[in-house]
Amino acid sequence: MSLAPDPRPRPLDHLAERGEGEAPALVLRGGTLTHQDLRTRVGQIAAWLAGRAAPGDRIASWAAKGEATCLLPLACARAGMVHVPINPLLKRLQVAHILADSGAVLLVGTKARLASLEDGDAPAGCGVLAEEDLLEASRGCDPLGPSDHDPDDIAAILYTSGSTGKPKGVVLSHANMWLGAVSVAHYLGMAADDVTLAVLPLSFDYGQNQLLSTWYAGGCVVPLDYLVPRDVVKACARHGVTTLAAVPPLWVQLAEIDWPEDAVASMRRLTNSGGALTEPLVRALRRIFPQARLFPMYGLTEAFRSTYLDPALVDSHPTSMGKAIPFAEILVIADDGTVAGDGVEGELVHAGPLVALGYWQDEARTAERFRPAPEASRYGGMAVWSGDRVRRAADGLLYFVGRRDAMIKSAGNRISPQEVEDAAIATGLAAEAVAIGVPDERLGQAVCLAVRPVGAFDEDALRKALAALLPNFMLPRIIRSYAAMPRNPNGKLDRNALAAEMAG
């Protein structure tokens, strides 16, 4: 691998061509796919899709980590279609919204998940297919070879919670995803003999890049849907894992259990995103994995990844976000629109080729977040104005200050308060609702809910009703009932007062 990452984007499906033919590429429960198998299976699935959908059509997947979910990002790209991965933890209401909003023509999923859908959840014109049936049907197809698609074409739509309302789709091009893989593979120093344990959801940009950056380097991915943290330890030992990515709540759990030598010996690097690591957690990970390099990182779906901290600086600067990753330009912009000076708080603005194309069919929200790059930008064009407040030290290292919006970040998940509030109202048991994120050592933030009930307050009934509407990671840890909700001088529900009470 060259010292400087190649800035020329390719069609995303060309990642299937990177590895040596007989070297392992994907370790599944039912067997291992070599890189030659990867090429063949991506081509066969792409050929099957090409016979049943048109270029530009959206193909959704809603399943645990398996052959279909791992290969569809490249197979859809090869067929000229747009992959829409859906978090397998989501429930039918969120899935129905994503299918309708994206205009998906096909949903591929596990049979149990598909069975949970009700009439009307999959819109007219959207077929539903079990993943086993897709895999079986595609095996008889003649594989499509590498594509020549324009790297600027759309390759995927990743749905992420917004600060208001339902999830919004971030539109990614082939170039966005290809260059993201190139960037990460280079600054992590990945190689063809690396083995990545993929524990993060493949519906996240961070999770999906576990596959893409490893395959760019010609390495091997071991997907894992773990039940308990010890499953991760066992998998690291069994497969000689060299690369492990996680979010802070999982790192907390992993740091609390014993790691035998055979689970640690092969580890070369640890990566973290989805929230900041605390100093005690950094120290614990450095103790457990003394020979592994630790990469704290910061990212946002709208621009994939923005910064990483050089592992050589982790011990001396454990709270820093680091500096820009390859292909990213990071500016700190003061409130007057100028570049903020050293030590001065400003908004993090990300420019360059990793910036997404915008939000799917949502011009208003796209215009809010995707705006012309600051005059000081060397890239120009459109930039992502993150809303996150940071400061840059004299040595160029960045430090996180806080968020402007009300998004709740819990266990690496971005949660819209309004989505939780709308679900509470939809139960018919709450007349008013406010969702708040409060600091939590293990989760980063915990979801708490304040409600003015309809009639007598029945917490058990409300929790049961919410569990039917929301995925587990959105469910509130604490629910408090109010006869009258606090309001600010403008008559609006006082989120700040409720947050102070919840945190007390």
- pLDDT higher than threshold 80 for residue 187: yes
Which among 94, 119, 149 is the end of a domain? 149
The answer to whether residue 194 sits within a structural domain is: no
- pLDDT higher than threshold 70 for residue 431: yes
What is the domain-level CATH number for residue 73? 3.40.50.980
What are the pLDDT digits (tens) for 369-410?
999 999 999 999 999 999 988 999 999 999 987 766 667 888
Of residues 247 and 264, more confidence is placed in 264
What is the domain-level CATH number for residue 413? 3.30.300.30
The answer to whether residue 493 sits within a structural domain is: yes
The answer to whether residue 466 sits within a structural domain is: yes
pLDDT at site 403:
67
pLDDT at site 163:
52
What are the pLDDT digits (tens) for 73-101?
999 999 999 999 999 989 999 999 999 99
- pLDDT higher than threshold 90 for residue 61: yes
Residue 299 three-state SS: coil
The answer to whether residue 457 sits within a structural domain is: yes
Quickly list H helices, 240-312. 248-255, 261-264, 279-288
Which among 119, 149, 179 is the end of a domain? 149
CA-based torsion, 416, 419, 425, 427: positive or negative: negative
Q: Domain of 466?
A: 408-503
CA-based torsion, 314, 317, 320, 325: positive or negative: negative
pLDDT at site 319:
85
- Give pTM, 2 decimals: 0.86
Q: How far is CA 126 from CA 100, 108, 203, in A?
A: 9, 10, 20
Which among 131, 149, 167 is the end of a domain? 149
- Burial class, 176, CB count within 10 angstroms (exposed 0-12 / middle 13-18 / buried 19+): buried
Stretch 281-294: mean pLDDT:
95
When the pLDDT of each residue in the chain is averaged and rounded to a whole number, the result is: 93
The answer to whether residue 290 sits within a structural domain is: no
- pLDDT higher than threshold 70 for residue 448: yes
The answer to whether residue 371 sits within a structural domain is: no
The answer to whether residue 205 sits within a structural domain is: no
State how many domains the chain has: 2
Listed as own residue / partner, the contacts of 235-241 with beta carbons closer than 8 Å and 24 or more positions apart are 235/197, 236/197, 236/263, 236/264, 236/266, 236/267, 237/262, 237/263, 239/27, 239/195, 239/197, 240/195, 240/266, 241/195, 241/196, 241/197, 241/266, 241/267
Stretch 300-306: mean pLDDT:
94
The answer to whether residue 339 sits within a structural domain is: no
Stretch 64-68: mean pLDDT:
97
What are the pLDDT digits (tens) for 323-354?
999 999 999 999 899 999 999 989 999 999 99
pLDDT at site 503:
82
pLDDT band, residue 222 (cuts 50/70/90): very high
